[in-house]
Structure 1
Amino acid sequence: MARRASSIATIVLGSLLPAFTAQATATFSWFDYQASDTTSQVEQGQFSNPILPGFYPDPSITRKDDTYYLVNSSFAYTPGLPIFESQDLVHWELAGHALNRPSQVTFENLNTSRGIFAPTIRYHDGLFYIITTAVDAGGNFIITAEDPAGPWSDPVWLPEVGGIDPDLFVDEDGRAYIAHNDAPPGEPLYDGHRAVWLWEIDLDTLKVKKDSRKLLINGGVDISKQPVWIEGPHIYRVNGWYYLTCAEGGTSVNHSQVVFRTRSLSEPFVPYENNPILTQRDRPQSDITSTGHADFIQTPQGDWWSVFLATRPYEGNHYNTGRETFILPLTWKEEWPHILPAGEPVPTTLPMPVGVATDKATFAERSRHFRDDFDSTALDPQWLGLNTFERGWAATEKSALTLQPVTTSLRNAEQSAFLGKRQQHMQFSASTQLEGAEPGTTAGLVVFQNRRYHYFLGVEQTDTQRIVFLEKVEDGKVTRLHETELNGSGALILRVENQEKTLQFSVKDVAGNKQMTIGEPQPATLVSTQSAGGFVGALIGLHARTSAGE
């Protein structure tokens, strides 16, 4: 699996790094991320929740034989649609990305939280399908692959299917259906009034059957109570029943998972009287919140599990790690699925399933330390770019990453020389060695939530001086919090330490072995989803821009 991830990275990035033109550049020799909290450290015989820490929202899962595959939303980041692979639902490996080339989709000029929403992955009759929405970038589409590691096809667009969060369900007779969120019939009755609709689709042609549209759910479980944001539908057939599960309440603290069932798709779905089957909104205080947007999977042995998103706030509803992927066993009671009893907290550790190896590191455990010495011609697949698959401004050679400035600012929606790695822990340190930036280039370390909310520890190089500064961008407004002039032109280590609520920046002169803090400790809440809005988590990144900016 690791070998496949590497080969995919080469496809995604290696072929998209053309030779540089003679322009000012910045060079980084390494990047290091180290967790300092204890959330992923568990006792023998257990594994930790979340199974995918960091910004891995809206999980969907499928199975081929005894291997499971999981996909997440990726919004405007590239490569998009990360796909994970596991044989036991505990140990996950990144198999590749389903979106890795510009012929598939474009995210040019999109805000960070637009782009790819809520995919569904399914396996049927030798083929893998992903159906998803490119918000403000073309709408709903399907892609296919024989191997989840790729290559994946170019999209087949579905102009008839509006809204977001499409699901693909293949019935026992081979007929296939798309369920999705869209506007309700008629005028909305209240803010957040949405509906779930159904279409039939021909899997041979991937064309929606005209005039097959049907209303499944109007509003939610009980429209008289004005439920909001019914979305993320998935349909299953179990023991003669059709089950429809959806998220309800919006993807924040009121998030929940609800379920309906019917004997026939031509008859109405009836809501479960004990809905919701998963929520944390009934808990006044919780380490884990916003649970919902679940998908179900059955093991070859007949057991059931559910993956879902949740968040880990550190102050109020502030969280920087984004919406993450969690897992819990699913049980059936009186032919209804149950994920978590009302009022119970989501467990942060779970017993290792019988027969699962306990001496192998999980994805969560491996995520505690990430180091890149840039000793490959292809960038590590953990690095994300903004808005574009083409990265001619980045090159790795001779154990160094070179960034060539594209814009004067990271704030505007134009493509920027920026690469980011997900923040996966509430306490961490991240550092990089900046070998140098040529005159006219500003480069450094970014703690990034979106273009309008981030911190930048930058080094500005001119012909006569070198200035290290700390910059805050809040609601699009730039404030230089601190700056100092440094002598010499040698390598610098730029560092940020996160202790839940604060971020402390520092710089070290490699030659003189002198370290200094840059500015006062800064509030981490600035780069939380709660403060900045949107649907993504924070990234720790490397950035270069022309010195004429800001």
Structure 2
Amino acid sequence: MFKKNKINMLSCILITLCLGLQAQTKNPVLPGFYPDPSICRVGDDYYIVNSSFGFFPGIPIFHSKDLSNWKQIGHVLNRPSQLNLTDEWLSAGLYAPSLRYHEGTFYLINTFMGAKEGKQGGNFYVTAKNPAGPWSDPIWLNDIEGIDPSFFFDNDGKAYVVNNGPVADGNPRYSGHRSVWLQEFDLKTKKAIGKRVELLNAGIDPSTNPIWIEGPHLFNKDGYYYLLCAEGGTGVEHREVILRSKSIWGPYEVGKNNPILTQMGLPEDRSNPVTCTGHADFVETPNGDWVAIFLACQPYEDGHFNTGRQTFILPVDWKKGKWPMILKKGKTVPSEVSLPLSPNKDLVSFSDYSMDWKDDFDNPKLNFEWNFIRTPKEKWYDIQNGKLIINARPISIAEVGNPSFIGRRLQHFKAEFSTKVSLSEGEGKYKGRTMEAGIVAFQNEEFFYKMVLERKDSNYFLKISSATEEFESIQLKDFKPSQSVFLKMKTIENEFYAFYSLDETNWKPIGGKLDAKLLSTKTAGGYIGAYFGLYSYAKSPQKAVFDWATYKELN
């Protein structure tokens, strides 16, 4: 008896140890402004795409073998011919892409929002044989009204598009009253065919006037068609709901345990809150396990977050009644999670990679982390001899357009960004003309902090300002043309600081303590996260030279 109990006890200890040693995956898996994630699997390879709104290149794409370690492999829309962003609101542009694979081809379907008069916009899709590219030019779907389209390829080979659209009678009862629609799609003619059918009006409980039923995806499982949607808007009431039907055309039964993912109703004073969860997508592993990716926010104070909407991951539980559950009501999104696949210990996760990052500009092409504000119509930068040279354009960071700004996402509550910059002397009649270059912490054209080295009348100054106020200006006496200065910005939750140095050792503050909430979505509006970027501006041809750029998470 004692021997048997001893064996059972040892077994329990071994099981506990094994569980304790089970590798965990960090949330968010894609920290920073990577919203509206969509995922698909091809064999043992997984791919994620995200919305990019008014930034270029458009739609970052990531690859993983284990669902934990993600590496960016490119952008879907990286040619100006694919993405013509000019003077749109920065939170317009590319919304909610959906990525699917069918018979050797990747399909990325998307909505271009905010198209100006006379310019093509609406829904479109692009294709590729290799997800790293090249991708085709857009194929516009003028006959599919609405937003958030997603392809569904059925077992019989038929293709469908499911998306958010206006209600059937054209008379919404309230703001945000929308429907989910389905239509068959002919891949040969590249057009929608047959009748367009309204699958879901308003949401799972129309009596509550739910807003923005959107981000729909369809899946096959066990003889059912499952319809996964977000509702409640993209704020704190954002939630994910599930329905199913034996027929793809419905009627769709509402799941009994909806919502299957939300953080609404949780105590606001909880530690390390995650909010705004929704806009999910599912993927099935070869072993039959399911995983959900979704967007969520991490506020640091009273709903303020500077990092934008980020990509999180959780396993999906199908055990009860063949209905999926991502996270039970009342449960908080964990910062670490066990997934069906074990993380590869030899790989560096995107989260860890992002914590301590440096670009020495030793690659002739810009690294994938860098983005432009809207589409550059000309190449106004170059990489030579380990330096990034930016031609200063006559468009300031406060103007709607394509300024000489090359930025990367802010990915943490506490972070710093630094660089080494110098101003070229100019050539010919432009020698010594007025210009500025440095760092910008950017949310949009009206909400940013700018720290620049300025040349004016052969004098040099360091200045820090926002769109509406100059905080401090320091004249650099005995500063020589082409001399370098080191610049650094720090954001620590709701606090923002700037520093400069002439030797990279002795750092001096400039501008004092500023309000980092200026960079938050709650203050600035819109749907994007903050960026740190390298910037230059001049009314005449001038150049700025950046030796390197670093980004670090601060403890």
The question of a shared fold, defined as TM-score above 0.5 by the shorter chain, is answered with yes
Structure 1 CA distance, aligned partners of 2:386 and 2:189? 47
Contact kept? 1:437, 1:461, Cα under 8 Å? no
Q: Quote the residue 1:136 is aligned against.
A: 114
How many aligned positions are there?
A: 501
Structure-2 residue corresponding to 1:145:
128
Residue 435 of structure 1, CA deviation: 2.0
Deviation at 1:462, TM superposition (A): 2.1
Please say if 1:479 is aligned against 2:469.
yes
1:28 maps to none
2:354 maps to: 367
Relative to structure 1, the CA distance from residue 124 to residue 160 in structure 2 (aligned partners, 3 Å threshold; closer, same or farther) is same
- Which residue number in structure 1 is paired with residue 372 of structure 2? 385
* Alignment check: 8 A CA contact 1:58 1:293 kept: yes
* 202 and 408 in structure 1: CA distance in 2 versus 1, 3 angstrom threshold: closer
Encode CA deviations 1:445-485: one digit per residue, 9 max, x unaligned: 00001111101001110242111111112xxxx21111111
Cα distance in structure 2, aligned partners of 1:67 and 1:390: 35
Counterpart contact for 2:25–2:343, Cα < 8 Å = no
What is the identity, as a one-letter code, of the residue corresponding to 2:65? Answer: Q
CA distance in structure 1 between the partners assigned to 2:167 and 2:382 by the alignment:
48
Q: Counterpart in 2 of 1:329?
A: 315
Which residue of 494, 498, 511 corresponds with 2:487?
494
CA distance in 1, matches of 2:424, 2:212: 48
Which residue in the other structure is 2:14 paired with? none
Structure 1 residue 158: Cα displacement: 0.2
**1:416 paired to 2:416:** no
Matched AA of 1:483: S
415-424 or 353-362, which deviates more: 353-362
Q: Which residue of 1 aligns with 2:216?
A: 233
Q: Residue in 2 aligned with 1:533? A: 525
Provide the secondary structure at the position in 1 that maps to 2:402: coil
- Quote the residue 1:112 is aligned against: 90
The answer to whether residue 176 in structure 2 is matched with residue 192 in structure 1 is: yes
Deviations 1:360-383 (A, max 9, x none): 321101110111111222111110
What is the TM-score with the length of structure 2 in the denominator?
0.88
Paired residue for 2:391, among 404, 408, 412?
404
Helix, strand or coil: the match of 1:404?
strand
Q: For residues 461 and 191 of structure 1, do their structure 2 counterparts lie closer, same or farther at Cα, with a shift above 3 Å needed?
A: same
Q: CA deviation at 1:171?
A: 0.8
1:290·1:311 contact (CA, 8 Å) conserved in 2?
yes
Give the conservation status (yes or no) of the 8 Å contact 1:437–1:443. no
Question: 2:300 aligned with 1:314, yes or no?
Answer: yes
Contact kept in structure 2, 1:352 and 1:358, CA below 8 Å: no
Paired AA for residue 214 in structure 2 = E
1:266 shift after superposition: 2.9
1:515 Cα offset (Å): 2.8
**3-state secondary structure, aligned to 1:337:** coil
Return the structure number with greater relative CO, CA threshold 8 A, min gap 6: 1
**What is the CA distance between 1:494 and its match in structure 2?**
0.7
The 3-state SS of whatever aligns with 2:394 is coil
Counterpart contact for 1:107–1:387, Cα < 8 Å: yes
- What residue in structure 1 maps to residue 5 of structure 2? none
Counterpart AA for 1:472: S
Match of 1:466 in 2: 460
CA distance in 2, matches of 1:190, 1:328: 33
Q: Which moved more, 1:287-296 or 1:457-466?
A: 457-466
Partner of 2:290: 304
Distance (Å, rounded) in 1 between the aligned partners of 2:187 and 2:309: 32
In structure 2, the residue matched to 1:18 is none
Partner amino acid for 1:540?
Answer: F
- Tell me what 2:501 maps to: 508
Shift of 1:191: 1.4
- SS of equivalent residue, structure 2 residue 317: strand
Q: Residues 76 and 387 of structure 1 are in contact (CA less than 8 Å); yes or no, is this contact kept in structure 2? A: yes
Tell me if structure 1 keeps the 8 A contact 2:213–2:232.
yes
Give 1:547 shift.
6.3
1 CA distance for matches of 2:230 and 2:338? 27
Q: Structure 1, residues 143-175: CA drift from partner, whole Å, max 9, x if none?
A: 000110011011110001111100100111111
In structure 2, the residue corresponding to 1:302 is in which secondary structure? coil
Cα distance in 2 for residues equivalent to 1:87 and 1:143: 24
**Structure-2 residue corresponding to 1:204:** 188
Equivalence map 1:46-65=2 (5 Å): 46-65=24-43
Q: Who wins on radius of gyration, i.e. which is larger?
A: 2
What SS does structure 1 have at the residue aligned with 2:195? Answer: coil
1:80 aligns with 2:58: yes
Matched position secondary structure for 1:367: helix
Q: By how many angstroms is 1:436 displaced?
A: 2.3
Name the SS for the 1:526 alignment partner: helix
In structure 2, what is the Cα distance between the partners aligned to 1:534 and 1:546? 28
Q: Which amino acid aligns with 1:306?
A: A
RMSD: 1.6
The alignment partner of 1:525 has SS state of: helix
Which range is displaced more, 386-395 or 137-146? 386-395
What secondary structure is seen at the aligned counterpart in 1 of 2:207? Answer: helix
Deviations 1:252-309 (CA, angstroms, capped at 9, x unpaired): 1110000111110233112112210000002122411000000001000010000000
* Aligned position for 1:36: none
What secondary structure does 1:519 align onto? coil
**Matched residues in 2 for 1:354 and 1:328: separation?**
12
What is the aligned-residue identity percentage? Answer: 43
Please state how far the C-alpha of 1:355 moved relative to its aligned partner: 4.2
Equivalent residue number for residue 446 of structure 1: 440
2:200 is the alignment partner of 1:213: no
Distance in 2 (alpha carbons) for counterparts of 1:437 and 1:446? 19
Of 53-62 and 264-273, deviating more is 264-273
Q: Which residue in 2 is equivalent to 1:242?
A: 225
